[in-house]
């Protein structure tokens, strides 16, 4: 349940969509730090942390099948056709004591080509299904941050989520792999192919950084444009929030990778689960960065149209006497006088006595027939 103020759908008087120039002008008028504060308030009251945790779960369920697909690809390709390069990349993505487990799995002698193709196929299918659910979760979180209380109908929602999984999820995944696995990928090619591998590694170390940045920014911009259930501004306007989300994601990912790599206590604490714990932390930080960027874009648009307050006012009014909750007032029990049975309610009989409701008897005169 969200308590954020709804952001009105806006456009220019000429009918054109809001662009980057309009976003820059609105940002200068509104103020950067004030906007950051209100964007965080919108993120918080839009249940941004809860949606980030839900997105982290779906993201982990999508990343693991893709890693299985990479393992199947390595087995399917074989050592002669680049399978060892893929294997080295997978081993670099699994820090800690899990390195030996993955290495034994990838170098197993009885791993056949059919098993590799099966792992590759099932991993890709499962990963795309999980990635579709991830995009559906992004739509739900974005709607709540924008103040939209209901998502699209189920069929339309998941059809759009499947399209976003292909158009935005796959490029974002490649951007992530380029960032975290780019160096071991280049080192593996340099070691496995002595002829041209050294030149490729030098070029790759320069190209992979802007390539990762461009892939992630474009993917996040597409998500910002088509995920919420509303008419969004132009893509250039949304790139402000997408850039902020990408910078936050880059910084948190690099800090987490450095901590996992150079901290000996992290691997010793979690042992074989080091890679899984690192993946969970990374997925949660990714969700927070993404929804913070959405909140930034939403608050900038809301401020431009005159809705500066990010959240609704608090409706809770505590008691004037103290702040402790009070029990509801119960009705008082009826007094004994009001429970007294009136004589008119006594059942009478012609036998000379009357029976009260409590079982007692009272002598009465027999009724006489009316005089005609």
Position 226 scores a pLDDT of 92
pLDDT in tens, 77-124: 655 556 667 767 776 666 544 455 445 555 555 555 666 677 778 888
Token code pair at residue 134: 């991830």
Residue 328 included in any domain:
no
Average pLDDT over residues 156-182: 88
Higher-scoring residue by pLDDT: 92, 248: 248
* Residue 325 included in any domain: no
Q: What is d(CA 216, CA 222) in angstroms, rounded to the nearest whole number?
A: 10
| 230 secondary structure, DSSP code | S
Residue 44 located in a structural domain: yes
Q: What percent of the chain has pLDDT over 70?
A: 72
pLDDT in tens, 134-154: 999 999 999 999 988 899 999
Domain boundary among 274, 304, 334: 304
Say what the pLDDT of residue 243 is. 87
The reply to whether 293 and 362 lie within a common domain is no
pLDDT-derived band at 31 (thresholds 50, 70, 90) equals confident
Greater confidence, 255 or 156?
156
Contacts of 15 (CB under 8 A, 6+ apart): none
Q: Give strand ranges (E) for 132-253.
A: none
Mean pLDDT of 229-238: 85
- What value does the CA radius of gyration of the chain take, rounded to a whole number of Å? 34
Residue 127 sits in the same domain as residue 33: yes
Predicted confidence band at 308 (pLDDT cuts at 50, 70, 90)?
confident
**357 & 233 share domain:** no
Cross-strand pairs, 361: 355
Residue 311 included in any domain: no
pLDDT for the residue 351: 45
Sheet holding 353-355, edge to edge: 347-348, 353-355, 361-363
Domain match, 64 and 125 both: yes
Q: So what's the pLDDT on residue 346?
A: 44
pLDDT at position 156? 94
User: Three-state SS for 293?
Assistant: helix
Residues 258 and 191 in one domain: yes
pLDDT of residue 365: 57
Give me the half-sphere count of Cα atoms (radius 13 Å) on the Cβ side of residue 312. 14
Is the pLDDT at 343 greater than 70? The verdict is no
Whether 335 shows a pLDDT value over 60: the answer reads no
Q: How many CA atoms within 13 Å lie on the side-chain side of 244? A: 22
- Give the DSSP letter of residue 94: S
Average pLDDT over the chain reads 77
Within a domain: 14:
no
Residue 252 CA to residue 247 CA, distance in Å, equals 9
> What H or E segment, with its residue span, contains residue 251?
helix 235-262
d(CA 297, CA 241): 5
What pLDDT sits at residue 292?
93
Q: How many CA atoms lie within 13 A of 252 on its CB side?
A: 19
Number of alpha carbons in the 13 Å side-chain half-sphere of residue 300? 31
| Mean pLDDT calculated for residue range 252-261 | 81
Query: When comparing pLDDT for 183 and 161, which is higher?
Result: 161
Report the interhelical angle of 235-262 vs 274-304 (nearest 10°).
150
Pairwise pLDDT comparison (218 vs 156), residue with the higher score: 156
Q: Say yes or no to pLDDT of 372 above 80.
A: no
Whether pTM > 0.85 for this model: the answer is: no
Adjacent-strand bridge partners of 36? none
Cα–Cα distances in angstroms (integers) from residue 45 to residues 20, 223, 292, 313, in the given order: 27, 21, 12, 11
Distance CA 57, CA 214 (A): 25
Confidence of residue 23 (pLDDT cuts 50, 70, 90): confident
Q: How many CB atoms lie within 10 A of CB 300?
A: 24
Identify whether residues 285 and 360 lie together within a single domain. no
* Same domain as 283, residue 162: yes
Q: Are residues 235 and 351 in the same domain?
A: no
Query: What is the rounded average pLDDT of the residues 21-42?
Result: 82
Report percent pLDDT > 90 for the chain.
19
Same domain, residue pair 189 and 78: yes
Question: Higher pLDDT residue, 166 or 365?
Answer: 166
Strand partners, 348: 354
The mean per-residue pLDDT over the stretch 308-329 comes to 65
Distance CA(11)–CA(150), nearest Å, equals 23
* Dihedrals phi, psi of 216, to nearest 5 degrees: -70, -45
Over range 169-189, report the average pLDDT: 83
60 inside domain: yes
Number of domains in the chain: 2
Three-state helix/strand/coil letters over 117-163: HHHHHHHHHHHHHHHHHHHHHHHHHHHHHCCCCCCCCHHHHHHHHHH
Confidence of residue 208 (pLDDT cuts 50, 70, 90): confident
Collapse the DSSP code of 95 into the 3-class scheme (helix H, G, I; strand E, B; otherwise coil) and give the result: coil
- Given 254, 277, 304, the domain boundary residue is 304
Domain for residue 167, yes or no? yes
Band of pLDDT at residue 347, cut at 50, 70 and 90: very low
- Does residue 310 lie within any of the structural domains? no
Together in a domain, 361 and 252: no
**Among 288, 304, 320, residue at a domain's last position:** 304
**Is it the case that residue 165 has pLDDT exceeding 90?**
yes
Scan for tokens 């158009």, then name that residue. Answer: 167
- Where in the sequence is the domain holding 366, given as residue range(s)? 343-372
Q: How many Å apart are CA 349 and CA 367, to the nearest integer?
A: 8
* Residues 179 and 241 reside in one and the same domain: yes
Residues 226 and 348 in one domain: no
């Amino acid at each position: 349940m969200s308590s954020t103020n709804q952001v009105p759908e806006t456009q220019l008087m000429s009918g054109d969509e809001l662009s980057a120039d309009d976003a820059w002008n609105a940002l200068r008028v509104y103020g950067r730090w004030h906007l950051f504060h209100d964007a965080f308030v919108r993120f918080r009251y839009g249940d941004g942390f809860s949606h980030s945790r839900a997105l982290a779960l779906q993201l982990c369920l999508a990343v693991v099948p893709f890693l299985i697909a990479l393992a199947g690809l390595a087995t399917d390709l074989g050592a002669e056709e680049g399978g060892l390069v893929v294997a080295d990349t997978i081993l670099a993505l699994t820090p800690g004591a899990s390195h030996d487990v993955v290495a034994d799995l990838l170098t197993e002698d009885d791993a056949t080509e059919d098993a590799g193709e099966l792992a590759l196929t099932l991993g890709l299918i499962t990963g795309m299904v999980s990635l579709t659910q991830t995009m559906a979760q992004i739509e739900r979180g974005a709607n709540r941050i924008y103040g939209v209380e209901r998502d699209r109908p189920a069929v339309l929602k998941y059809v759009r989520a499947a399209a976003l999984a292909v158009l935005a999820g796959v490029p974002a995944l490649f951007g992530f792999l380029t960032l975290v696995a780019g160096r071991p990928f280049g080192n593996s090619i340099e070691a496995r192919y002595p002829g041209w591998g050294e030149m490729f590694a030098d070029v790759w170390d320069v190209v992979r950084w802007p390539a990762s940045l461009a892939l992630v920014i474009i993917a996040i911009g597409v998500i910002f444009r088509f995920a919420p259930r509303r008419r969004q501004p132009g893509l250039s306007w949304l790139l402000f929030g997408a850039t902020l989300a990408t910078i936050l994601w880059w910084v948190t990912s690099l800090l987490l990778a450095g901590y996992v790599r150079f901290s000996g206590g992290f691997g010793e604490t979690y042992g074989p689960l080091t890679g899984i714990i690192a993946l969970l932390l990374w997925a949660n930080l990714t969700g927070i960065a993404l929804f913070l960027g959405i909140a930034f874009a939403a608050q900038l648009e809301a401020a431009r149209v005159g809705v500066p307050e990010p959240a609704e006012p608090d409706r809770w009014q505590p008691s004037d006497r103290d702040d402790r909750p009070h029990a509801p007032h119960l009705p008082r029990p009826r007094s004994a006088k009001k429970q007294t049975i009136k004589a008119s309610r006594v059942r009478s009989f012609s036998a000379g006595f009357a029976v009260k409701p409590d079982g007692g008897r009272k002598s009465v005169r027999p009724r006489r027939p009316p005089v005609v």
